[in-house]
Amino acid sequence: MHENQLPATPRRFQMFIDGRWTDGHGNQLTTRHSPGHGTPVAQWPAGTAQDAKDAIRAARTAFDTGPWPRMPAAERAKVLFKVADLIEQNVDELGLIECLETGKPITQAKGEIRGAADVWRFAAGASRSMAGETLNNLGDRLLALVLRQPLGVIGVITPWNFPFFILAERLPFLLAAGCTAVVKPSEATSGTTLRLGELLQQAGLPDGVVNLVSGHGSEVGQVLLDSDLVDMVSVTGSTGTGRKAIQASVGNIKKLGLELGGKNPHVVFADANLDDAADGVAFGMAFNAGQCCVGASRLVVHRSIAEVFTQKLAAKMRRIVVGDPLDPATQVGALFDEAHMHKVLSYIDGGVALGATVVAGGGRTGCEKGNFVQPTLLTNVTAEMPLLRDEIFGPVLAVIPFDTFEDAIRIANDTEFGLSASIWTQDVNLALRAMREVQAGRVWINTTLDNGPEAPMGGMKQSGIGRDAGLAGIEEYTEVKTAHINLQPRTHWIGASDGL
Ligand code: NDP
């Protein structure tokens, strides 16, 4: 028996608009069932378009006339530090909500909440270092100032795979810049985002600065994308939703931040430390049940070691502990919902039907309830198999052998995505050459999935636009304004007229 339990009744959450808790204008509730247990664990209002408009209006007023964008960064930082402290004080509670709604293991969920507090803390401190530029090289006559000003009202649309952590990679950064926000979490996993509202209130955030609206993307999210009162929308999710955001943004030419899909390669060269690489690749593909935008989905391995490495990796993968998300010993929990599980299984079955070989996993685990899939390794994959092209978003890894360095890079880059890549070799020159050549916003060498709020992240190609985290993550939510100042008597363009 472990301390974390399923709730007897679903926990009830409300939306947070203009500093008030509300069920909004609709009368529907969304009920979330735990993906690992099938029991109802949480409920929140299915927000409406009107709720989204109310929230946008509140954020607009808070930006246009409220204190938040106008106060010294040091004052904003105090509030953000307090939020970080409150998150840390509530790790157990937030972690349990996250675990129950997403199906991820409780130990991992609590780690993500703790990590989120650290991200809030980084953004709080970094807010005080935001500065513009002075151009003092324009000659005696001119001096130019480059100001960074808060961008305005930001819509933040987040997915279900890392609800609280992904929000932490965006919200404190835009707040640090002096912006205000309307946040729409995934309709399936809104609990921790709504609970955050109470912590924001407790920390002293002025009303209307952050508004939290649960509800469907097609309704609440679309209002954010379409609204002329919103200056920027940050979307983390599928490429399809990214395209909708681009289409909707033409209305008021709003700025977009997009973090979309990936089809991320791990390139293993012949000289790699094979035990370390096998462990890293297994972690990279199975973490969060493969529902990780930067997770491993293609193993590009030198032909001379392909067989031995595949066997080592398969042995590691078979030992991954998949099971009850509430058990602290669990390493991989359940997939997000049943339909998604069947989609993941159909990629495996479809590949096998076309001649792929299953080396590890291959189907569901023995768990009676819940959406559990075994970490699955496939060889003999060919270009016609959708599993080689599409983002599966499950614990499925396809093996592709290579012969030369150029081959490895060509295969790694042979995708419409460009989110992340991992390189395994002990040859520093090879590692650095591969790092340069690979088309990805994030590259790991002899490790994977390491991150920290200091480093910016984002995608190349169809994986996205813009960067989150790091100082770039605050700059993203600022507008650059340039001012030229004349320091000399004016040389007139039109000569003085007689007598005047
Ligand atoms: P979606 O893109 O559908 O969802 C992400 C967010 O966008 C959710 O909050 C969703 O709302 C919202 N949304 C959906 N449609 C619209 C719209 N028309 N206007 C505004 N907002 C909208 O992704 P899914 O959650 O369905 O996941 C599907 C795929 O997306 C995954 O298989 C994976 O490929 C990719 N993905 C990538 C992630 C990443 O980190 N890069 C994270 C999650 C998913 P709603 O609550 O209604 O779903």
The hierarchical CATH code for the domain 11-260+463-483 is 3.40.605.10
**C-alpha neighbours within 13 Å on the C-beta side of residue 338:** 8
- Long-range CB pairs of 30-33, under 8 A, 24+ apart, other chains included: 30/187, 30/190, 30/214, 32/100, 32/101, 32/188, 32/189, 32/190, 32/191
For the chain, the 3-state helix, strand and coil shares in percent, each to the nearest 5, are: 40, 20, 40
What is the residue with the minimal CA distance to atom 38 of ligand 1?
A: 237
Q: What is the DSSP string of 421-441?
A: EEEE-S-HHHHHHHHHHS--S
- Give the distance (Å) from ligand 1 centre to CA of residue 35: 17
What CA–CA distance (Å, rounded) separates 35 from 72?
44
Boundaries of every domain in the chain: 11-260+463-483, 264-445
264-268 and 420-424 strand pairing = parallel
CA gap 465, 459 in Å, rounded? 7
Note the pLDDT of residue 3.
62
Q: Does the Cβ of 241 fall within 6 Å of ligand 1?
A: yes
Q: What is the position in ligand 1's atom list of the atom closest to the CA of 215?
A: 46
pLDDT digits (tens, 9 = 90+) for 85-136: 999 999 999 999 999 999 999 999 999 999 999 999 999 999 999 999 999 9
Query: Which numbered atom of ligand 1 lies nearest the CA of 248?
Result: 19
- 218 in ligand 1 pocket by Cβ < 6 Å? yes
Distance 237 CA to ligand 1 centre (A): 4
Measured CA to CA, the distance from residue 324 to residue 344 in angstroms comes to 19
Q: What is the pTM of this model?
A: 0.97
Q: Does residue 394 have its Cβ closer than 6 Å to ligand 1? A: no
Residue 422 phi/psi, 5-degree rounding, is -120, 140
Q: How far is the centre of ligand 1, averaged over its atoms, from the C-alpha of 236 (Å)? A: 7
Ligand 1 within 6 A of CB of 223: no
Which option is the CATH number for 264-445: 3.40.309.10, 3.40.50.720, 3.30.479.30, 3.30.70.2740? 3.40.309.10
Separation of CA 355 and ligand 1 centre (Å): 31
pLDDT value for 359: 98
Catalytic residues: 259
Question: How confident is the model at residue 1, as a pLDDT?
Answer: 41
| Interval between CA 173 and ligand 1 midpoint (Å) | 21
Average pLDDT, the chain: 97
Does residue 217 have its Cβ closer than 6 Å to ligand 1? yes
Proportion of the chain above pLDDT 90, given as a percent: 96
Which atom of ligand 1 sits closest to the CA of residue 184?
A: 9
pLDDT at 495 (0 to 100): 86
pLDDT at 69: 98
Residue 221 CB less than 6 A away from ligand 1: yes
Q: Which residues of the chain have pLDDT under 70?
A: 1-3, 367-368, 499-500
CA dist 352 and 358 (Å) reads 7
Residue nearest to atom 13 of ligand 1 (CA): 217
pLDDT at 366: 74
Q: Is the CB–ligand 1 distance for residue 284 below 6 Å?
A: no
